[in-house]
């Protein structure tokens, strides 16, 4: 079979809850994997295990997200009972380049992370000469390269998915309000491409600055320009809730940034809106197991840490310890299955994800178009 099933065994372990023991008494929520420092000028070797570095922020403003990813990565090792992988965590908050240098000196042959796009640039300068690839948790497509694979959820993909669904429901004219900045530029590019691919006309667009309250006036200006069947609010829940009342009942389209925000479901002005995001079908089970082990809820993107370990184990079946990681196997067109559903890397090294479309109801979200279970060629 061409498809590579990443999570079958792991999810069975999660369901049974036998791999992750219940804590006995208080459990420290921030255990950090450590390694003994190698001897000076001597690269450590491990004849039977792959050495993999996990580069995430363990201190500083993003420490909670980094710790959550690190915990999830450790859960994946426990759930699969993996014996051929040795993961060491390095703190990028004190310097991503320095963390990468230490990881490479320690003999790691693959880097999982880092989280931030600017850290990816710093790590690449160290990892590339050493022929150590990375699977980053960033969602910035600009950092993707032949040895840098972007695993994060790329915003433009949710825009493309919801536009495609809207077209199937009779939407032919779309207007959009777009924030200034990089996120807005990428959302606009995704909308333009999706509209062209689906035969939809983008009748009008308006931009706004997130730092002020211009979003409602942007909606009114747009609706005065030309008639639309639907209005894309290419931003998060906070902005959507400001913009929705000014839309006057026009069908709203959102992005993955709306997922999990109860405020969207409680607001009557957003009722009937559609947005696309990855499926939560497996996340609930993962979240319960995470809480039992660490006594806290995981970050929603902690699944990236879990899935990156499963991906490494999958590809690592024929990877000889101590050798260069076989990146060519990451391009499998059948893709992989993770906690967030199926995904695959395109020719640019960016993860393409199967997404579902949800409709906002009265206090609820309803899946109106399930995420595909597999990719078409």
Q: What is the pLDDT of residues 19-28, one digit of tens each?
A: 323 333 343 4
Cis, bond preceding 66 (omega within 30 deg of 0): no
> What are the residues facing 323 on neighbouring strands?
none
Mean pLDDT rounded to a whole number for the chain: 89
What is the percentage of the chain residues whose pLDDT exceeds 70? Answer: 87
Instruction: From residue 104, give the alpha-carbon distance in Å to each of 70, 77, 84, 319.
Output: 19, 21, 19, 18
Whose CA is closest to 307, among 348, 278, 336, 349?
336
212 pLDDT tier (thresholds 50, 70, 90):
low
Residues 280, 282, 288, 291: is their CA dihedral positive or negative?
negative
| Rounded Cα–Cα distance for residues 150 and 304 (Å) | 11
* Fold (CATH) for 156-277+356-369: Rossmann fold (3.40.50)
Q: Where do we find the tokens 């999982």?
A: 112
Domain 8-19+46-153+281-345, CATH homologous superfamily name and number: Response regulator (3.40.50.2300)
pLDDT band at 258 (very low <50, low <70, confident <90, very high): very high
Residue 16 has pLDDT above 70, yes or no: no
Reply yes or no on whether the pLDDT at 43 is more than 50.
no
CB-CB neighbours of 296 under 10 Å:
15
Q: How many CB atoms lie under 10 A from the CB of residue 171?
A: 19
pLDDT of res. 25: 38
- 305 in Cβ contact with 112 (< 8 Å): yes
Segment 83-105 mean pLDDT: 96
Residue 317 pLDDT > 90, yes or no?
A: no
Provide the pLDDT for residue 316. Answer: 85
Q: Is pLDDT above 70 for 333?
A: yes
pLDDT of residue 192 exceeding 70: yes
Say if CB 302 and CB 290 are below 8 A apart: yes
DSSP letter for 116, please: S
- Run of H or E residues at 26: none
* Range list for CATH 3.40.50.2300 in the chain: 8-19+46-153+281-345, 156-277+356-369
Structure token digits, residue 17: 């809850």
Of all residues in the chain, what percent carry a pLDDT higher than 90? Answer: 81
* Exposure b/e, 334-351, CB count within 10 A at least 16 = b: ebbbbbbbbbbbeeebbb
Average pLDDT over every residue of 42-71: 89
In sign, the C-alpha dihedral spanning 14, 31, 143, 212 is positive
């Amino acid at each position: 079979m061409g498809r590579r099933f990443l999570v079958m065994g792991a999810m069975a372990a999660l369901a049974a809850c036998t791999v992750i023991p219940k804590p006995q008494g208080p459990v420290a929520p921030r255990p950090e994997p450590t390694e003994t420092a190698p001897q000076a000028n001597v690269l450590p070797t491990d004849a039977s295990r792959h050495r993999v570095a996990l580069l995430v922020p363990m201190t500083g403003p993003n420490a909670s997200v980094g710790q959550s990813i690190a915990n999830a990565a450790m859960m994946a090792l426990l759930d699969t009972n993996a014996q051929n992988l040795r993961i060491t965590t390095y703190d990028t908050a004190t310097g991503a380049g320095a963390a990468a240098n230490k990881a490479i000196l320690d003999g790691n042959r693959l880097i999982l992370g880092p989280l931030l796009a600017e850290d990816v640039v710093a790590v690449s300068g160290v990892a590339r000469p050493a022929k150590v690839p990375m699977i980053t948790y960033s969602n910035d497509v600009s950092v993707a390269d032949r040895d840098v694979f972007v695993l994060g959820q790329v915003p433009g993909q949710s825009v493309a998915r919801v536009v495609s669904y809207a077209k199937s429901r009779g939407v032919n004219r779309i207007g959009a309000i777009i924030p200034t900045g990089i996120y807005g530029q990428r959302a606009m590019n995704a909308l333009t491409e999706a509209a062209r691919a689906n035969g939809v006309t983008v009748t009008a667009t308006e931009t706004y600055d997130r730092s002020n309250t211009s979003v409602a006036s942007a909606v009114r200006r747009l609706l005065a320009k030309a008639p639309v069947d639907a209005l894309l609010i290419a931003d998060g829940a906070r902005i959507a809730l400001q913009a929705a009342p000014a839309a006057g009942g026009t069908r709203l389209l959102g992005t993955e940034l709306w997922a999990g925000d109860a405020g969207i479901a409680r607001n009557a002005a957003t009722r009937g809106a559609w947005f696309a995001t990855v499926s939560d079908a497996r996340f609930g089970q993962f979240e319960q197991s995470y809480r039992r082990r660490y006594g806290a809820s995981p970050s929603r993107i902690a699944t990236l840490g879990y899935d990156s370990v499963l991906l490494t184990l999958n590809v690592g079946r024929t990877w000889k310890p101590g050798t260069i990681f076989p990146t060519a196997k990451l391009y499998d067109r059948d893709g992989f299955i993770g906690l967030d559903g199926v995904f695959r890397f395109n020719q640019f090294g960016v993860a393409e994800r199967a997404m579902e479309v949800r409709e906002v109801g009265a206090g609820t979200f309803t899946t109106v178009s399930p995420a595909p279970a597999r990719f078409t060629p």
